Structure 1
């Protein structure tokens, strides 16, 4: 068996479906291939029991709530802050822009630290620091203090932008990622919209200062929960291959419980229950999860070495795994469980700059950034439009209006998450070969193109013509909820394409996204003031349409670009594996 990376493999292409025998009806029967291939270690995050896995997911979502709510809570109380300080609305929006800028730039520091020392300690530090920083803004009286507090808040909270996506990819297989990442996107958007809703009532009842103080209290509670529940997901995967059969030895092949991570495609293609018994009839033929190393029947795993560098050939008859069961509870609380033995921080810091050479990563950052731009335009104008004539909404009523994008986010979550995963499997089936490409998911953006454009016009042009408030709130909700398409599509596209270096790639995506957000936040007040609601949001509508419609270019050129840069990519993977980084 070769242990050398195959440089001719196109990054992102995978055989997602194994076609077995043809049934009597003539329809081909298939099973989903688990990619990445899980090891036989029960502490491999891909092998965790459902309870352990979803506890980890819950912790990631708790962290997202704790870090995101303070960044959005002030949107519905900006007029109150302006009235009680010497800071103008334009300066307040500028400070928010700086916060988003450092939410991106901070990833250059904290993402490498998470790879070197573990994700758990970075999550905990970020959560505790965010809670402490929230105490400062109520005491700011000048623009300089406001900007400084927002910069610091953005910097310490930057892990919220990129670490959750990587944690989800640690826990889930290729065909499950969109659901997991959409769940993160739903939490991110819901927190961003519900925070102003609650903040409006807090501001009216206790004053705007208590908005941030309650954020600090909530952050402290989240820190305690994370300290006692969050587990490290950094894992150095080692695969054992049976010398006789060439099959990867997994928990399933060792007749141990794999849990909910084993997914049969029968649910998708509505095949009969024969496939459910595959584990019983496949003991000597092939592994249930299609993990044959090098055979003509299962070509997807010929390049198993491209997935992971640690591949060892063993005799399954005499192989006895040296795992002593799963970690104890105290071992899971360790702050050093994800620490690398070698100090490679300088390489982790420099690696994202090399990933910026890949057009797929740059476009994903642009898509993610454009989706956040409309979110910022919405937040920056909500208080102006709903709080002004003829609507004259109070702070609490503006906050109630933010329930609309929350509801739409939940509705569109099922389209973005479940349908995206379904689409990826379905396209692989339609091809008849089981081949899956990262671009297959991007067709879901057609919905965003149409709904985003319509929602922008309804919100801005509706405000210009002073239509009934329900029309504005509906447009506000639709525009805000559509953001989940950009979050899920961009993250899954990058992770599916460059899974081996997805952490470094996501840093580039987040920096691009937040730089775009900073630029818009910095100029949004003048944009609306100079153009007016009608012209401003007509331009927003068609910019939104054009930005999302660029997915067609990636569907056409993406496979060619990935093929052209495959040698560059695999040389990076090979180099970093030899250094011990991955």
Structure 2
């Protein structure tokens, strides 16, 4: 027998698209970022047309809130229905379907006349955008290494924020200059261009093994190299495959990478119900769902309050001014994107070195503690400022502070999830995004009554407290998270074995 050396080889170094150049990977990721940008522009500029809806179509604020709630309902339902398909048919067809439906919605938005149409369009736009949050994170795991996840997820979250905060800035000027219908027409043009880029250049990143060599079944997913050493006999540990790979031959052709569908012969029915089981089976998934869902719910509530109160006394903002007001939040998210993800990646490398070179996903959670204070401070400053009629610059600073904390919170939650359970990420993200949009839908439907019942100041003080408590929950995972992962290891392997392929990284 030989001496056994065991090591893990990341799949992206040898298989499919990931064996391409850094330029190819970054270009593919750039296309996903552009897709995310226009997805959130489409979803979040509707409030800029609110006054135009009232004046031209006679719609009420109640109808506007219902349409917003239906948008979140579409985001939640669409995720459950569409994301499971990435396992069987690949990432590319989902991007194409989503971008096509977004184009249809933008054109319809520019030409609707009735309340029922607005509600229907909002629901369909939610379905179209539902895949953006989960499938992009799956693509990040496809394309990049663990130590790059926080940085890439940070860029993804920033593109979300750029669409949600930067999009309204430009849209506000378009509404004032050309009218709200032209706002949607211009968005339709941009979404159409994005669809063409995705159609022509986005390459499938799904892992479909095309290895050249021989393999033998066993129990783990590590590669093994045997060396003979005289006088020593060591029993080798069982492994799932002993593979000799020809790297060049494993590279897919351009036709394969741009195929409309990359189908694998696996059942996907289980992925329609497994997300809910995963949600309640793994603490890391529940944490990510609660944290990511709540922080985005407070973001939605903050935007809704600003759009509603800023058009009244003492502010009397028009659409362009409301759009410019979003620059505060944009500045906070931009600063956080430039500083927080690299800091998080640097931090985990330092902590891993101190831990004898062993990385633990819980190392990322240290950043949640400053984020908790930042989120609460920003939300309370914005809400109390609106209640007291403080200068708009104070409110903008509050939005910027919250935007900074928002990036840190969302990045840590999502990256902790990808590090903890990469092999069931599809099901886990469906659960996370479903909870996120479900919470946002409930908050949006009830927010007006909440404000009228408690007042804007007390409402945001309560929101700030809830945001703080939610963000410090990771202290439990820092104590018990590793033990929980050990206890759920067999269950995790069981769920992972039912995914489309076994990953080797």
Q: Are 1:36 and 1:174, in contact at CA under 8 Å, matched by a contact in 2?
A: no
Find the counterpart in structure 2 of residue 62 from structure 1: 34
Find the counterpart in structure 2 of residue 195 from structure 1: 167
Q: Tell me, yes or no, if structure 1 residue 396 matches structure 2 residue 320.
A: yes
Distance of 2:238 and 2:304 partners within structure 1:
49
Find the counterpart in structure 2 of residue 422 from structure 1: 346
Find the counterpart in structure 1 of residue 16 from structure 2: 43
Q: Choose from 455, 465, 478 the match for 1:542.
A: 465
Q: Are 2:16 and 2:209, in contact at CA under 8 Å, matched by a contact in 1?
A: no
Alignment of 1:41-440 (within 5 A): 41=14, 43-45=16-18, 47-237=19-209, 311-314=241-244, 321=246, 323-324=248-249, 326-336=251-261, 338-340=262-264, 342-356=265-279, 357-431=281-355, 433-440=356-363
Q: RMSD of the TM alignment (CA)?
A: 2.8
Q: Are 1:37 and 1:291, in contact at CA under 8 Å, matched by a contact in 2?
A: no
Displacement after TM superposition at 1:406 (Å): 1.1
Structure 1 gaps of 5+ residues are: 2-32, 244-289, 296-301, 315-319
Q: Secondary structure at the match of 2:93?
A: helix
Q: Are 1:68 and 1:188, in contact at CA under 8 Å, matched by a contact in 2?
A: yes
Q: Secondary structure at the match of 1:485?
A: helix
Distance of 1:423 and 1:203 partners within structure 2:
44
Q: Are 2:57 and 2:113, in contact at CA under 8 Å, matched by a contact in 1?
A: yes
Find the counterpart in structure 2 of residue 249 from structure 1: none
Displacement after TM superposition at 1:487 (Å): 2.2
Find the counterpart in structure 2 of residue 470 from structure 1: 393
Distance of 2:17 and 2:345 partners within structure 1:
23
**Quick one: structure 1 residues 242 and 114, their matched pair in 2 at CA, closer, same or farther if it must change by over 3 Å?**
closer
Find the counterpart in structure 2 of residue 501 from structure 1: 424
Give the TM-score of the pair, scaled to structure 2: 0.89
Q: Choose from 490, 494, 497 the match for 1:571.
A: 494
Q: Are 2:224 and 2:242, in contact at CA under 8 Å, matched by a contact in 1?
A: no
Distance of 1:399 and 1:499 partners within structure 2:
38
Distance of 1:328 and 1:412 partners within structure 2:
39
Q: Secondary structure at the match of 1:435?
A: coil
Distance of 2:70 and 2:121 partners within structure 1:
10
- CA deviations 1:216-248 (Å, max 9, x no partner) are 1111010011112100000135789999xxxxx
**Quick one: structure 1 residues 136 and 39, their matched pair in 2 at CA, closer, same or farther if it must change by over 3 Å?**
closer
Q: Are 1:453 and 1:544, in contact at CA under 8 Å, matched by a contact in 2?
A: yes
- CA deviations 1:78-132 (Å, max 9, x no partner) are 2332333232223212211221122122112211112211111110111011111
- CA deviations 1:327-382 (Å, max 9, x no partner) are 4444432213x321x14122333332331222221121000011101110111011
**Quick one: structure 1 residues 239 and 485, their matched pair in 2 at CA, closer, same or farther if it must change by over 3 Å?**
farther
Distance of 1:516 and 1:241 partners within structure 2:
49
Q: Secondary structure at the match of 2:107?
A: coil
Q: Secondary structure at the match of 1:434?
A: coil
Q: Tell me, yes or no, if structure 1 residue 451 matches structure 2 residue 374.
A: yes
Q: Are 1:86 and 1:142, in contact at CA under 8 Å, matched by a contact in 2?
A: no
Q: Are 2:14 and 2:247, in contact at CA under 8 Å, matched by a contact in 1?
A: no
Q: Tell me, yes or no, if structure 1 residue 519 matches structure 2 residue 442.
A: yes
Q: Quick check: 447-456 or 507-516, which moved more?
A: 447-456
Q: Secondary structure at the match of 2:393?
A: helix
Find the counterpart in structure 1 of residue 402 from structure 2: 479
Displacement after TM superposition at 1:44 (Å): 4.9
Distance of 2:338 and 2:266 partners within structure 1:
42
Q: Secondary structure at the match of 2:83?
A: helix
Q: Are 1:108 and 1:507, in contact at CA under 8 Å, matched by a contact in 2?
A: yes
How many residue pairs get aligned? The number is: 485
Q: Are 2:83 and 2:426, in contact at CA under 8 Å, matched by a contact in 1?
A: yes
Find the counterpart in structure 2 of residue 16 from structure 1: none
Displacement after TM superposition at 1:141 (Å): 4.0
**Quick one: structure 1 residues 439 and 54, their matched pair in 2 at CA, closer, same or farther if it must change by over 3 Å?**
same
Distance of 1:166 and 1:40 partners within structure 2:
17
Distance of 1:414 and 1:118 partners within structure 2:
31
Q: Are 2:329 and 2:399, in contact at CA under 8 Å, matched by a contact in 1?
A: yes
Give the TM-score of the pair, scaled to structure 1: 0.78
**Quick one: structure 1 residues 559 and 40, their matched pair in 2 at CA, closer, same or farther if it must change by over 3 Å?**
closer
Find the counterpart in structure 2 of residue 6 from structure 1: none
Q: Are 2:109 and 2:121, in contact at CA under 8 Å, matched by a contact in 1?
A: yes
Displacement after TM superposition at 1:552 (Å): 1.0
Q: Are 1:104 and 1:158, in contact at CA under 8 Å, matched by a contact in 2?
A: yes
- CA deviations 1:394-430 (Å, max 9, x no partner) are 1101101111211111101133311111111111112
Distance of 1:523 and 1:329 partners within structure 2:
50
Distance of 1:557 and 1:494 partners within structure 2:
15
